[in-house]
Chain A
Amino acid sequence: MNDLQALADSVVAQARPGEQIEAFVARGGETEIRVYRGEVEHFVSARSEGIGIRVISDGRTGVSSAGTLDQAAIAEVLGEARENLGFGTADEWAGLATPDGVEVTRQSLWSEELAAYPTEDKIALARDLEAMTAARDPRIRVDEANYADVMGETAVATTSGVRQSGRENGCYMTVSTLADQDGETQTGFGFTVGRSPIEFDLERAAGDAALRATRLLGATKPSSGRVTVVLDPYVTAQFISIISSTLNGEAVVKGRSLFRDRLGEQIASEVVTLIDDPTNPRAYTASEVDGEGLAARPNRLIEAGRLEMFVHSSYSARRAGTVSTGNAVRSGYAGSPGVGALALQLQPGSRSQSEIIAEVGEGVLIQSVSGIHSGVNAVSGDFSTGAAGLMIRNGALAEPVKEFTIASTLQRMLTDIIEVGGDVEWLPMRSTGMSLVIRDLTMSGS
């Protein structure tokens, strides 16, 4: 137990008769180092803390938060949450999570090695990554090389008996590149993530960043047509994040999910098994508990193409007549928890990307997409994004292409998936990447 738990407990202890209270307390720190041309361009070193309080009474919910753990401020925050609940509409399903007996899978989410890692060595890593990337190809300029680490301690307590606290840390590095040739510039990026810097693979990040930029040099706008696409792992990760938003229990109970009536039905091709597994320690977003303090657990959302379940928080579960799947998510201490996947992954296939490309024969490798937030409508299912990549001809990568879109619908794309790659890539996000082959998308170009 940390001191934050005592603080959360003390807020909950102030509950009046008939009142439910949840207190979520967080304290964290971050380091962000950016290197440019061998010099530290910026170094951000920061610590922050805050509290979010939810009060529920007679089915009404009030919320308040503050970016401080100052006692006087906490008293004001509790007062404001109580005041705010008077304005809500009574909701028969409003309530907090109650302990559900699911055992927490203990994980080592805290690395002493990272906590003790010297600042000078972090700077050296960023310098090394920049130098290694620049050395890959004379046409490469490094736009920025970054090292970042975050640490956080949290505690949650509720009048319904939830009490959980923990701490975790993690780090990642990113590098972005510019490749110049004949007055044209293309861009690339690379990542590496770890619980501690010893898990980093700088060579790989440098290689990815250099290759992605240089291989796009000379790219032209392709002609329009229907194509089979191979999504790069990072693009697949973004795609499955969107899919998961349609399997969100809150969207389901409020009638916004296009799969709301399809439980038990085949919604994807048989090669698709989608799992949310925050207990997998390799996932960057692995966690022991969800945003309401219930045990994080593996959930199989789609099994061989069949829709098995939606993800729920205690609220959406109550409305749906089921139980929480441990999928309450929070973005920091402010606000109340929503619903979402914690650590998504497609069950990987067995082949490498080059084997897949050889099999596909004709198509296009999508190296990056843009405008996912503006061109995808997860309610209607319309999918359209900007893209850049390489044509696949005769089973091999061919000329680069850019400034085109790929479009379909989410419903069709799921059934049009023909292969999941075995090339698993762990990314600093809630989804894991691997190559993914989808047939029959519309490519719009010239």
Chain B
Amino acid sequence: MIVVIEPDVLERTLGTAMAGGAEFAEVFAENRRSVSASLDDGRVEQVTSSRDRGAGIRVVAGETTGYAYTSDLSEKGLAEAARTAAAAAKGGGAGGQRVVSLESAYSRPAVIQRDPRDVSTQAKVALLLAADEAARSAGSEIVQVSAGYGDSRRSVLVANTEGVYATDEQVRVLMRLSAVAAGDAGMQTGYQSMGHTRGWEVFDEMDVEQFAREAARQAITKLSARPAPSGTMPVVIQRGTGGVLFHEACGHGLEADLIAKGASVYAGRVGELVASPLVTLVDNGDMPGEWGTLGIDDEGHPTQHNVLIKDGVLTDYMWDVLRARREGRPGSGNGRRQSYRHLPMVRMTNTYVLDGAEDPDDIIAATDHGVYVAHLGGGSVNTASGDFVFGMTEAYLIEGGRITEPLRDGNLIGNGPKVLADIDMLGNDFAMGSPGTCGKDGQGVPVGDGQPTLRVAALTVGGTAA
């Protein structure tokens, strides 16, 4: 399962990649196997296995990066990809084979207790059946349930011309459930998901039936929901659901590739107050067991704990190898890619806001009229203008300091720097949220997020009610 390419083969491949006079070359090899099972409409529809294995070779010459990939991991296959990448980087032609020597290998594989490969498919399917039954028994309003289970093992190897030679193994498990409830006013949906960079032990600790009932409860609750309000008002976001707000409001804008192009509202602002002094924001790819966790990033750099905003002041951006190299500074372990078919980019890992001091109940009690968001969907951002949106999939009105009626789904919209400054209450009940897939430039990677209950003094709620 582990990708094995002998160090001397890697050295020769890198030498070939550099033959045209490039400054940097890298081999990224990956072997991924996954198993997924899906249940819908009361049936285990199918169990799917997939495997994918290959290597991508990157060659950098001047401002140009050439990239080629292959599923042929023989020395011949790698050499051919190296030549293609070198030619693409315009390095082809001049010079001969270059000598490259790698440092001794290092590795930081995730520690798992029970390898999902050693668990029977029957047990994985049984999880789905139990979840389906629990969701359906939550109420007669539940008319449809779909659920999915997935596990994956991703082995990676990275070697580059600066001597880096690193390997990692990432094991992830995921479960999701979506319920549909029907009532007089149409249908509503509820959704729960759970994912970790851990093994099967996750399911020993988790109450799958409770997880399923929670999705069902959400759908049933929304049957009596009224249209969300329209306009600008205070919004309280429940702990462990609103990390996506930071992911969109500032996370993407702190990625060094966007900074370098002047395509972020946070460019040139290190050392300045960019958020409420309540906010300390961290990106940490080394957080044990979380969905966005990895031992090394996809450029072979160990992941680490990076403070991005400290007490409201912007302290640093997130970096990949190329951008850090140009700046003559260390990387931050944020170079990631979807697979060997993709070029690495600056990406988040687990991005979260540290605890504040307020009791979460006091935050609600202090809000006279607003919206309480108990569950968020995805979001997106325009980093250049700072405008971002995120969806609410379970929300309530707050009236007179109390949570009252459920609201139908809608989007919230704000401007990153303004919203960060408008965070006026921060709870002491930090929790990590649901697993996410962050999309950038067509590539999806697993990311985590987290935050305590918090209040934004003014956000625009995109409903239809006056």
Of B68, B382, B462, the residue contacting A384 (CB under 8 A) is B462
Q: Is B116 an interface residue (CB 8 A)?
A: no
Selecting from B104-112, B227-235, B358-366, the interface stretch reads B227-235
CA distance A374 to B228 in the complex (A): 15
Of A40, A89, A382, the residue contacting B43 (CB under 8 A) is A89
In the complex, which residues of chain A have a beta carbon less than 8 angstroms from the beta carbon of B189? Answer: 377, 379-380
A230 to chain B, nearest CB (A): 19
Do B230 and A224 touch (CB < 8 A)?
yes
Interface residues of B in 72-87 (CB under 8 A from A): 84-85
Do A386 and B43 touch (CB < 8 A)?
no
Do B230 and A407 touch (CB < 8 A)?
yes
Q: A255-B143, A377-B409 are in contact. Are A44 and B391 (CB under 8 A)?
A: no
Interface string of B42-68 (1 = CB under 8 A from A): 111111111111100000001111111
Of B43, B90, B393, the residue contacting A88 (CB under 8 A) is B43
Q: Is B236 an interface residue (CB 8 A)?
A: no
Q: Is A208 an interface residue (CB 8 A)?
A: no
Q: Is B367 an interface residue (CB 8 A)?
A: no
Interface string of A139-158 (1 = CB under 8 A from B): 00101000000000000000
Question: Which residue on chain B has the smallest CB distance to residue A333?
Answer: B50
Question: Which residue on chain A has the smallest CB distance to residue B126?
Answer: A87
Q: Is A266 an interface residue (CB 8 A)?
A: no
Do A258 and B186 touch (CB < 8 A)?
yes
Q: Helix, strand, loop or mixed for chain B's interface?
A: strand
Selecting from B12-20, B275-283, B372-380, the interface stretch reads B372-380
Q: A44-B67, A89-B44, A256-B180 are in contact. Are A185 and B49 (CB under 8 A)?
A: no
Q: A255-B143, A377-B409 are in contact. Are A42 and B343 (CB under 8 A)?
A: yes
Do A405 and B43 touch (CB < 8 A)?
no
Do A371 and B379 touch (CB < 8 A)?
yes
Interface string of A11-49 (1 = CB under 8 A from B): 000000000000000000000000011011111111111
CA distance A75 to B88 in the complex (A): 35
A433 to chain B, nearest CB (A): 20
Q: Is B155 an interface residue (CB 8 A)?
A: no
Q: A178-B262, A375-B391 are in contact. Are A62 and B47 (CB under 8 A)?
A: yes
Do A44 and B390 touch (CB < 8 A)?
no
Q: A44-B343, A385-B462 are in contact. Are A63 and B48 (CB under 8 A)?
A: yes
Q: Helix, strand, loop or mixed for chain A's interface?
A: strand
Q: Is A186 an interface residue (CB 8 A)?
A: yes
CA distance A116 to B265 in the complex (A): 42
Interface string of B128-160 (1 = CB under 8 A from A): 000000000000000110000000000000000
Do B47 and A84 touch (CB < 8 A)?
yes
Q: A67-B51, A370-B382 are in contact. Are A402 and B387 (CB under 8 A)?
A: yes
Of B50, B232, B389, B415, the residue contacting A334 (CB under 8 A) is B50
Q: A39-B62, A85-B47, A91-B45 are in contact. Are A442 and B230 (CB under 8 A)?
A: yes
Interface string of A334-375 (1 = CB under 8 A from B): 111000000000000000000000000000000000110111
Interface string of A36-71 (1 = CB under 8 A from B): 110111111111111000000000011111111000
Q: A63-B46, A404-B413 are in contact. Are A371 and B389 (CB under 8 A)?
A: yes
In the complex, which residues of chain A have a beta carbon less than 8 angstroms from the beta carbon of B182? Answer: 255
Of B66, B71, B390, B414, the residue contacting A49 (CB under 8 A) is B71
B337 to chain A, nearest CB (A): 12
Interface string of A264-287 (1 = CB under 8 A from B): 000000000000000000000000
Interface residues of A in 99-143 (CB under 8 A from B): 141, 143
CA distance A407 to B232 in the complex (A): 15
Do B341 and A48 touch (CB < 8 A)?
yes
CA distance A381 to B44 in the complex (A): 27
Interface residues of A in 379-394 (CB under 8 A from B): 379-382, 384-386, 388
CA distance A42 to B182 in the complex (A): 50
Q: Is B457 an interface residue (CB 8 A)?
A: no
Q: Is A445 an interface residue (CB 8 A)?
A: yes
B198 to chain A, nearest CB (A): 23
Q: Is B403 an interface residue (CB 8 A)?
A: no
Q: A45-B84, A49-B71, A385-B462 are in contact. Are A39 and B410 (CB under 8 A)?
A: no
Q: Is B41 an interface residue (CB 8 A)?
A: yes
A320 to chain B, nearest CB (A): 13
Do A88 and B409 touch (CB < 8 A)?
no
Q: Is A446 an interface residue (CB 8 A)?
A: yes
CA distance A255 to B231 in the complex (A): 34
Do A185 and B385 touch (CB < 8 A)?
yes
CA distance A375 to B63 in the complex (A): 39
In the complex, which residues of chain A have a beta carbon less than 8 angstroms from the beta carbon of B69? Answer: 46, 48
Of A42, A66, A83, A336, the residue contacting B65 (CB under 8 A) is A42
Q: Is A415 an interface residue (CB 8 A)?
A: no
Do A43 and B65 touch (CB < 8 A)?
yes
In the complex, which residues of chain A have a beta carbon less than 8 angstroms from the beta carbon of B45? Answer: 61, 88-89, 91
Do A374 and B46 touch (CB < 8 A)?
no
Do B49 and A84 touch (CB < 8 A)?
yes
CA distance A446 to B232 in the complex (A): 6
Do A403 and B413 touch (CB < 8 A)?
yes
> Could you give 11 example pairs across A and B, Cβ below 8 Å?
A61-B45, A66-B50, A87-B124, A178-B262, A334-B48, A382-B410, A404-B413, A405-B413, A407-B411, A443-B230, A444-B413
* 17 further interface pairs, Cβ-Cβ under 8 Å (given A43-B88, A65-B51, A77-B49): A36-B261, A39-B63, A41-B63, A42-B343, A44-B68, A44-B343, A48-B69, A87-B122, A186-B384, A370-B388, A371-B389, A374-B390, A404-B460, A407-B410, A407-B464, A442-B464, A444-B232
Binding site for A on B (CB under 8 A): 37, 40-54, 62-71, 84-85, 88-90, 121-122, 124-125, 143-144, 180, 182, 186-189, 222, 228, 230-232, 261-263, 265, 341, 343, 377-382, 384-385, 387-391, 393, 408-411, 413-415, 460-464
